[in-house]
Chain A
Amino acid sequence: MLNTATAESVLSAARRGGADFAELYVERWRRRTLRTIDGEVEEAVSAIEQGAGLRLFFGTDVVYAYTNDLADAALDELTQTLVRLRGTGGGVDAGGGGGLDLRRRTAAGVHAPRVAFEAQPRAWRLERLRELDAGARVDASVRQVEGRLLEWEQDVTVANSEGAWVDDRRVRTRCVAVVIASDGEQTQTGHFGPGLSLGLELFERHAPATIGEQAARQALVNLRARPAPAGTMPVVLGNGFGGVIFHEALGHLVETTSVARRASVLTDKLGEQIASPQVTYVDDGTTPHGWGSSEFDDEGMATERTVLIDRGVLTSYMVDRWGALKTGYARTGSGRRENYTYAPTSRMRNTFILPGDAEEPADLFAGIDLGLYAKSLGGGQVRPGSGEYNFAVKEGYMIRGGQVAEPVRGAMLVGKGPETIRLVDAVARDLATEPGMCGSMSGSIPTEVGQPHVRVSRIVVGGEA
């Protein structure tokens, strides 16, 4: 996608123009979307996306430009435009480097797919979505089944004025079922959508019929659920997507994107006990085939496993290049972006709470007279500065006398992330992760959220009191 001479020319020109650091990011995507409703194709689109982003640092000021004209002349013009524009605003530092010695590193294929993009025709994919549809028809109340298959293949090259050159390839596949069930009086939905960094062998790990069946089962639970009570009570958060609370209301607070601007309540808290000693919270970009994994980040740094909270003590932030420059913390391979139209910022990869001491999830329910089991969570809102959140419970049950009891719907969890993480009093061992799309300054990116079953001693539950 990018030849060495072009990269050298662009990066050197930027340095001569006064930039302290220059980075060229080039990528090419192939994407396919296939969507069915009740087994008929509703949408089938394919796309190649290709472009380059150029980021220049002048001190800690950043300028960014992108183009999908990858011709040498276009990239040179882009560089000149940025340098000239910068000149209108501040002083141009006349420094700048000479020749570049680019050292090339290529991904080893840790997350590579076994079944390639081309291995099956489109009709084969439609058959899988029809299996999903059939799997969801578990009850007469199932009214509509939507199946979605997303396939992304991304080649990335990052070269910078420090001489780094990285080639990475990321292949991701996700299959989503959304089921609408109705008993004539009410309509409820269920949702299940596994996704991993691999190819069509996703279906070997998650049979299409099972994906449909899981979504349908959730819709049926909600159909027989009663309105949730309101009040403050102990809450057991389900494993897997239950971790979205900590992603939104804790993870985002330890990205340098907010910490460097002192816009997070967890700014300057390294080494402090900020969570319950039960909690060890990890952001891991290296999980083999993880939905949020890649060998290198979008700034060309090898990803790593970053322990954010160790037994309750804040041990690291998630640090990108700009964040490192602003705060002095070492980079953690966390610079990510949706695509070439965004400059990278510090972002999560696969973020989860590690297994704890409780032998069985059932142990977490024991001793709770009245509480809520939030088995699965849906959408929520978070104020990034304070970590105040509210999340809808997508599948919930009452806990009565230490046992999981009847299903409830309409429950909302309300609280502050930094407080909730202190109130975790038990963590089970059944760690599971689920894929999601995380939206922030640098766009929408694939991330995994996860945790074992986690008990929080009290959360405000808003329901239909």
Chain B
Amino acid sequence: MSFERAKDHVLRRARERGVDAEVLATSTRELRLAASGGRVDEIGHANRGGVGVRVVADGRVGYASSEALDDASLDWMLDEAVENAALQPPRGAELPVGGPLGRSDLIGEGLSAAVEAKGAAVVALEGAIVADPRVDALFMARYAETETEAVLGSTRGVDGGYRNGYAMLMASPVMKQGDSVKQGWDVDVVKEYHQLDPTRTSQEILERVGRHLGASPLATGRYDTVFEPDVTAILLQLLLYSLSGKSVAEGKSRLAGRLGDRVASELITLVDDPTLPEGLASRPFDAEGTPARRTPLIEGGVLRSFLHNSDTARRTGQANTGHAQRSYASTLGVGPSNLVLEAGAGASLDDGVIVTDLMGVHAGANPITGDVSLQGLGLRVEGGATRPVENFALSFNLFELLERVNAVGDTLEWRPGGGGGMVAAPTLRVDALSFAGA
């Protein structure tokens, strides 16, 4: 295939020139179908890929990329990367040594259903949602699938490739009951097309949005609190900032220097595991060819590791955990694969608030300090009954909150995480949390 040929060509030229080079080629195929009025009304079919090279010479790093795979384009790319490296001040960089990693296919024929069937699925999803009389408008009903292929090689021995993908159904209805209007969304992400069920997804979406209709303001006060998996996933994405080796290397992580310390409740065990067979973000190796392995980050509340690539590991003097992340057009970064907060014994609530959604994470949460002040949506549980509540804000510090977790749910839900990763999250319970409401 042409990516393999492109990779081999660039590595051969790099060896001829006597520079260390790493070549990453990725291609992504996407299909997006949106339905309205009982028909597929938006079709997106996309195929994008390219080759990126990272050159290391005299401790300097240079990058360049190309979406054209002809020899002239590839040679230009290598020349540019070498010249870009020469402009840098020396930073002590090195290209990691690696070995053969084989070729893996993690999805096989998982997405190979006919496009007509996929169109019918999204039309069915749209129909089932619109049929609910409480649905006032449907912003979006969509099927999307993504298939990625990656090939990696370097002059220092790395050589591997893999293919992965997933499919999803999602919708965002506006529901109305009396004067109460609520918009929400939900997404079902699966590894193989046949695991999707438009009827199930539509029921989940209608339930998730509809349960908030008729919400009343929540009175200011302290409540025992359960975070639904969606909210747990938001908190984990916030925590990732401090667990990133890049943040540690740049002096921006509040958890830096605390390896071996208790940083969370003993009920918290957080693992990044790229080897999970059911994991939607599984991969046999990272963007530098470091073989995948399970990395405990927090075990029983004790901080065990950060997420590192070879560069952040070298700069912090810690072990490389194989969390290099980049696309062909980007520079080296750090990112999770399947981030799993392990399930516990269950988290129930007799009197308190179930927080179902947090809004405005980008503006209302400071990832460096962990200070969070966000608007929430939820359900008030009281005297055996449950009613929707709104117009409240939660203020807490993420790190203090993690120490106060006193129960963890017994089932995990997968959610898209930041930076191409996936998050498996349970419910979390924290008592006597402060809410600002009416």
Residues of A whose CB lies within 8 Å of any CB of B are 28, 30, 32, 34, 40-41, 43-51, 61, 63-69, 74, 78, 81-82, 84-90, 121-123, 126, 341
Contact = CB atoms under 8 A, between A and B. Distances in A.
B89 interface: yes
B33 interface: yes
Interface in B48-100: 48-50, 62-68, 73, 76-77, 80-81, 83-89
Given A28-B68, A46-B81, A89 B46 contact: no
Contacts of A90: 39
Contacts, number: 115
Contacts of B177: none
Contacts of B49: 68-69
Contact of A67 (B42, B48, B81, B123): B48
Interface in B319-371: 329, 331
Nearest to B80: A46
Contacts of B120: 88
B76 A48 contact: yes
A441 to B, nearest CB: 13
B87 A65 contact: no
Contacts of A63: 42-43
A43 B123 CA distance: 46
A34 B35 CA distance: 43
Nearest to A67: B47
Interface centre among A30, A34, A89 (most CB of B within 10 A): A89
Given A46-B81, A48-B77, A84-B115, A69 B65 contact: no
Q: How large is the interface on B (under 10, 10 to 19, 20 to 34, 35 or more residues)?
A: 35 or more
Contacts of B88: 41, 44
Nearest to A126: B87
A46 B62 CA distance: 9
A89 B64 contact: no
A82 B43 contact: yes
A195 B46 CA distance: 31
Contacts of A48: 50, 65-68, 73, 76-77
Contact of B46 (A47, A65, A74): A65
Contact of A85 (B43, B63, B67, B80): B43
B40 interface: yes
Nearest to A74: B47
A153 to B, nearest CB: 12
A228 B66 CA distance: 48
A65 B67 contact: no
Query: Which 6 A-B pairs have CB atoms at the shortest separation, nearest pair first?
Result: A89-B40, A46-B80, A88-B119, A65-B45, A67-B47, A44-B84
A83 to B, nearest CB: 10
Central interface residue in A47, A64, A86, A126, by most chain B CB within 10 Å: A47
Interface string B22-47: 00000000000101000111111111
Given A41-B89, A44-B62, A87 B116 contact: yes
Contacts of B89: 40-41
28 contacts: A32-B80, A44-B63, A44-B84, A44-B85, A45-B331, A46-B84, A47-B64, A47-B66, A48-B67, A50-B68, A65-B45, A66-B45, A66-B48, A68-B47, A68-B50, A69-B47, A74-B47, A78-B45, A84-B115, A85-B115, A85-B119, A86-B40, A88-B40, A89-B35, A89-B39, A89-B43, A89-B123, A126-B87
A85 B40 contact: yes
A67 B50 CA distance: 11
B47 to A, nearest CB: 4
Contacts of A28: 68
Nearest to A44: B84
